[in-house]
Amino acid sequence: MSGWQQHLIVLPILVPFVAAAALVPMDETRRRSKAAIGLLSVLLQLAGALYWVVAADRVDGAAPAAVYLLADWDAPVAISLALDRLTAVMLLLNALLACAALIFAVAKWDRVGVHFHVLFQLLLMGINGAFLTNDLFNLFVFFEVMLAASYGLLLHGSGRLRVKAGLHYIAINLVASSIFLIGVALMYSASGTLNMADMARKLAGLGDADRQLFETGAAVLAVAFLIKSAVWPLNFWLPGSYGAAVAPVSAIFAIMTKVGFYVLLRLWLLVFGDAAGASGSFGAPWLVGLGLATLTYAIFGMLAATNFKRFAGFSVIASAGTLLTAIPLGGSSGTAAALYYLLASTLAVAAFYLLVDLLERIRDYSASLLAVTIESFEAQGMILPEESEVGVAIPAAMAFLALAFGLCLLVLSGLPPLAGFVGKFALLVSALGSEAGQFMQYAVWLFVVLLVVAGFAATLTLTRLGIQLFWVPERHKKPLLRLAEAGPVAALIGLVVLLTLAAGPVLGYLQRAADALHAPAAYIDGVLGAQPKTSGEGRP
């Protein structure tokens, strides 16, 4: 990697940042140009992510495909960005969701409040940055960028319900940020570094006192990520706040809990791998136990859900629980299966959040709610461009909605033949095949049972809610779908189908990504061995 290509790694952060900066001074009335800049930015991110997915796989073995030393300082001192297969896949997932959510938002939702596009781009910047960075404090900064944007997006559209949900969401995340900082502080004071790779290298050589301080710090830090990845009992905020947000925002929020999971997976395998000596597999029973508890909670939540949005919130929690349990179970094939499940469930949940918005519209009352939102916004003196609400009625729109609903049901509940089933099946196989101690053996069996029961609960609830919606024809309004709204839903579901058809190559790719995570020595060497590009006299 030489020449200009070495700088491509900062683009996932810079592109949304520049786009956001360009959007800030623009007036709300210039909707079309705002939407155009936003779309250009997400398409560039998508192209960049596709490039990196290919480039990351060209590397032999487990080394990161690219390491970028910010400001060209020497390796452990510089804040470094590192990109390997896992990062590339997460970037791609984020870009895909962003494209779908933004196109959906442009059709209607970006008009119910101000600064939607700016906040959306900043959210993407924070998420991409969190995936790329290899520095713990830099991670905190990107998390805050992401969260600050998400506060604004959650409140987008205003209204009593959103402000109440936003208040809770912000308070909880501010506490989580404090916990994050406490964890980082303890880990720094024990290891003397903030670079994750450097931390992993130094942990084995720490004395007993420092090692215990480090473990304490790691545990405190983990609590912060567990809050963000919505793990029981730290997840009561999720169904309410995700349900209160407007549909495209909920769709992109689907990846935010995955950011928490990503960091847990990355840090845990990097720092507490086999090379960590006495600290190896630190906290594994906790991860499994909390994951199983989360899954149980999600099952009850799904069964009790009386509307689609609440169900979607609990299915986010179910996938968080499944993923968390899979971190320490099943070795590298378990991690690969978990990543596949992550892709399928995130795409499906995002599609489902968008779809729910369309489904609610065929009920009378929710259409009137939307009208109220727009009216109250206009009453505040904001000028909204005149645009006809009536789109082209796609023939058999109802059939499309029902089909999309059916496909989402198959993925979310993990029924064959779609990707949800493939993911769960791969998880079960790797969990059953893992060699584990007595406690873990029980955990594996409990995991198998809970995973199947969660699928059953999802099927049951979605069938019940679907019957209430589709099989009472007298209450229906004629659905009017616009291509910009139906398109993203169809595209996301199409991606899930594609994921199913290409399950072999995708799982192969993820297996290589997981192998790299489970043998972090090459990653550590790659990050710490990065050489500054300039040398000699001119250096600071």
- Which C-beta is closer to other proteins: that of 168 or that of 518? 168
Cβ closest to other proteins, residue 136 vs residue 427: 136
**3-state SS assignment for residue 80:** strand
Cβ-contact 240, 166 below 8 angstroms: no
Judged by beta carbon, residue 378 or residue 389, the one nearer other proteins is 378
Q: How far apart are CA 313 and CA 316, in angstroms?
A: 5
Nearer to other proteins, 177 or 459 (CB): 177
DSSP state letters, 243-257? HHS-HHHHHHHTTHH
CB of 261 closer than 8 Å to CB of 324: yes
Residues in the chain: 540
Minimum distance between the CB of residue 457 and other proteins, rounded to whole angstroms? 28
The 3-state DSSP class for residue 402 equals helix
Q: Smaller CB distance to other proteins: residue 84 or 135?
A: 135
Smallest separation (angstroms) from other proteins to the CB of 171: 6
Q: Which residue has the tokens 């442009």?
A: 106
Find the shortest distance in angstroms from Cβ 189 to other proteins. Answer: 4
Q: Is residue 42 within 8 Å of 101, Cβ to Cβ?
A: no
- Smallest gap from residue 160 Cβ to other proteins (A): 5
Half-sphere exposure of 402 (CA within 13 A, CB side): 9
Considering the complex, what minimum distance in angstroms separates the CB of residue 76 from other proteins?
Answer: 12
Q: Which of 94, 139, 90, 86 is nearest to 120 (CA)?
A: 94
Smallest separation (angstroms) from other proteins to the CB of 532: 19
Angle made by CA atoms 96, 99, 103, in degrees to the nearest 5: 150
Residue 169 C-beta: closest distance to other proteins, Å: 9
**Residues with Cβ < 8 Å from 3, sequence gap 6 or more?**
none
Q: Alpha-carbon distance 384 to 108, whole Å?
A: 11
From the CB of 374, what's the least distance to other proteins, in Å?
A: 17
Helix (H, G, I), strand (E, B) or coil at 329: coil
**Least distance in angstroms from the C-beta of 146 to other proteins:** 12
State in Å, rounded, how far the first CA of the chain is from the last one. Answer: 24
Amino acid at 485: E
Contacts with other proteins, residue ranges (CB under 8 A): 137, 141, 144, 148, 151, 155, 158-160, 163-164, 166-168, 170-171, 174-175, 177-178, 181-182, 184-186, 188-189, 194
* Residue whose CB is less far from other proteins, 145 or 230: 145
CB closer to other proteins, 167 vs 452? 167
* 417 Cβ contact partners less than 8 Å away, ≥ 6 residues apart: 410, 500
Nearer to other proteins, 20 or 336 (CB): 20
Residue whose pair of structure tokens reads 């196989």 in the numeric block = 429
Beta bridge partners of 83: 66
Give the nearest distance from C-beta 22 to other proteins in angstroms: 22
Cβ neighbours for 338, distance < 8 A, ≥ 6 positions apart:
265, 322, 323, 326, 327, 330, 427
* Least distance to other proteins, CB of residue 256, Å: 17
Nearer to other proteins, 103 or 149 (CB): 149
Least CB distance from residue 167 to other proteins, whole Å? Answer: 5
C-beta of 141 vs 394, nearer to other proteins: 141
Burial (CB count <10 Å: 0-12, 13-18, 19+), residue 182: middle
Residue 430 token pair:
């790797």
Give CA–CA dist 136/225, Å, rounded: 12
Residues with Cβ < 8 Å from 89, sequence gap 6 or more? Answer: 53, 339, 343, 509, 510, 513
Task: Give 150 or 430: the residue with its C-beta nearer to other proteins.
Answer: 150
Q: Which is nearer to other proteins, 145 or 267 (CB)?
A: 145
Which of these, 377, 357, 376, lies nearest to 367 by C-alpha position?
Answer: 357
